[in-house]
Amino acid sequence: MSTFGRLFRVTTYGESHCASVGAIVDGCPPGLTLTPQDIQIQLDRRRPGQSNLTTPVCAHPPSSIFVLIDKTQRNEKDRVLLQSGLEHDVTLGTPIALMVKNEDQRPHDYSETDMYPRPSHADYTYLEKYGIKASSGGGRSSARETISRVAAGAIAEKYLKTAYGVEIVAFVSSVGKITIPSTDIHAPSSSNDDDDDDVQDALSENFRKLLATVTREQVDKETTRCPHPETAERMTKRIIRAKESSDSIGGIVTCVIRNVPSGLGEPCFDKFEATLAHAMLSIPATKAFEIGSGFKGTQVPGSKHNDLFVLRDNGKLGTSTNWSGGVQGGITNGEDVYFRVGFKSPATISQAQATAQYDGQPGSLAARGRHDPCVVPRAVPIVEAMAALVLMDQLLIQNSRSTAAALLPPITTLPPTMVMPSSAKNGKTV
């Protein structure tokens, strides 16, 4: 289905070469101030060729920028057009329809390459699914589909920021094997089965500091959207190498959500991290997701992995570490939520590949035109958008419950194991 969310519901449409792409955002709270610019700012970050705009103080030589900003690519201006749900820049609570016109709707010239399903693309699977596919481009699997997500996410984010001060920041933490040192939780560990000390470093103090402070401004300073300049430099070189060898390379986007209200996430099937994983793995080219300590956390003994409780200045409990990634039992605990999303190397490469035609006849296929050798920098606002959609929807669902519960008379007869122990309440009033 093309709909995401239960109460904050986003339905998208659009292929790469049809009239437009867009979405209907249903369930936005009424009374939110929202301008097209609130949306455009994230669309611009997603747009191919945005780098030279977003990196005015550029530390890299022009040549490296050229690699990432392919001037010959079609210039998708990607202006968002709001159709409904607002007046005077205020939301009405009714569905907000938005669209971005496709400027390139020209018919596709049939060529010999059309006899080949592109390897690791969706050409073959779309035909298997529908028995028909868009005549050119990736159809619905095109990256242009993510425009709608980014726009919808920007609406959710505006609400979250206004009402809760939520901050969502994603950044490129890996390109190929190059990783920001402090975030390298996939780093090699000791080969001694019983040595636990090395794994404890996985979530270093530096990493937590980075998550606590990183801003979009810092991220956008680098063409690669890696907020660690030395690493960014290495990443740039790695991408140039991919480009020069007519190849491509993948990477990892890390994202942090700060000021998350506690209590979000539905037990059982719709745990907070489950819907987050759903959202992230629905982004094209993603293959992996982990929250908190992730795969590395499977190596850390419970005695070191458990997040111990401490009293915060605001009188609420917090945890001294955050291996949980802000979620326990599927429900947010008020700590920062952070997670990683793995993007495979782009499938479209211009070097020849020995593959087969639809009829099975072997042959050689080389992609025409120019292609993005690494998509993770552009994936940053997409990851942020999907995170905003998940948080917004879970928030509305929990709001409904807590409001309903608040209308009930207090129950005074429950045993102390079922409510917050009175000692705790006493403690709070002190």
What positions carry a catalytic annotation?
17, 121, 372
The candidate with the shortest Cα–Cα distance to 200, out of 96, 103, 115, 305, is: 305
Our finding on whether 106 is near its own copies (CB under 8 A) is: no
Minimum gap (Å) between residue 77 Cβ and its own copies: 17
Q: C-alpha distances in angstroms, 426 versus 127, 216, 390, 422?
A: 65, 41, 35, 6
Please identify, among the stretches 44-52, 53-61, 88-96, 204-212, the one whose residues bind its own copies according to the rule CB under 8 A.
Answer: 88-96
Our finding on whether 36 is near its own copies (CB under 8 A) is: no
Our finding on whether 70 is near its own copies (CB under 8 A) is: no
Minimum gap (Å) between residue 230 Cβ and its own copies: 12
Neighbours of 373 (CB within 10 A): 25
Q: Which two tokens stand for residue 382?
A: 């997409």
Q: Which two tokens stand for residue 338?
A: 């952070």
Alpha helices in 30-145 (DSSP H): 36-46, 51-54, 62-68, 123-130
**One of 343, 378, 388, 391 touching its own copies (CB under 8 A):** 343
Q: Which of 9/378 has CB closer to its own copies?
A: 9
Our finding on whether 88 is near its own copies (CB under 8 A) is: yes
Our finding on whether 425 is near its own copies (CB under 8 A) is: yes
Please identify, among the stretches 38-46, 66-74, 113-121, 210-218, the one whose residues bind its own copies according to the rule CB under 8 A.
Answer: 113-121
The secondary structure element, H or E, covering residue 98 is: strand 96-101
Residue type, 372: D
Q: Which of 58/186 has CB closer to its own copies?
A: 186
Q: Which two tokens stand for residue 161?
A: 């920021």
Q: Which of 77/401 has CB closer to its own copies?
A: 401
Our finding on whether 144 is near its own copies (CB under 8 A) is: no
Minimum gap (Å) between residue 305 Cβ and its own copies: 5
How would you label 385-410 residue by residue, b for 16+ Cβ within 10 Å and e otherwise? bbbbbbbbbbbbbbeeeeeeeeeeee
Residue type, 325: G
Q: Are 245 and 351 in contact (CB under 8 A)?
A: yes
Neighbours of 244 (CB within 10 A): 10
**One of 143, 150, 279, 382 touching its own copies (CB under 8 A):** 279
CA 233/CA 224 separation, integer angstroms: 8
**One of 276, 337, 380, 382 touching its own copies (CB under 8 A):** 276
Minimum gap (Å) between residue 42 Cβ and its own copies: 18
Minimum gap (Å) between residue 133 Cβ and its own copies: 6
**One of 346, 380, 387, 391 touching its own copies (CB under 8 A):** 346
> Which string of x and - marks every residue 291-330 that binds its own copies (by CB under 8 A)?
xxxxx-xxxxxxx-xxxxxxx---x-x-x---xxx-xxxx
**One of 342, 377, 380, 383 touching its own copies (CB under 8 A):** 342
Q: Which two tokens stand for residue 87?
A: 């007046």
- Displacement of CA 418 from its chain's centroid (Å): 37
Residues within window 194-253 making contact with its own copies, judged by CB under 8 A: 194-196, 199, 234, 237-238, 241-242, 245-252
Q: Are 213 and 338 in contact (CB under 8 A)?
A: no
Helix (H/G/I), strand (E/B), else coil: 144: helix
Residues within window 146-165 making contact with its own copies, judged by CB under 8 A: 159, 162-164
Q: Which of 226/242 has CB closer to its own copies?
A: 242
**One of 69, 82, 167, 206 touching its own copies (CB under 8 A):** 82
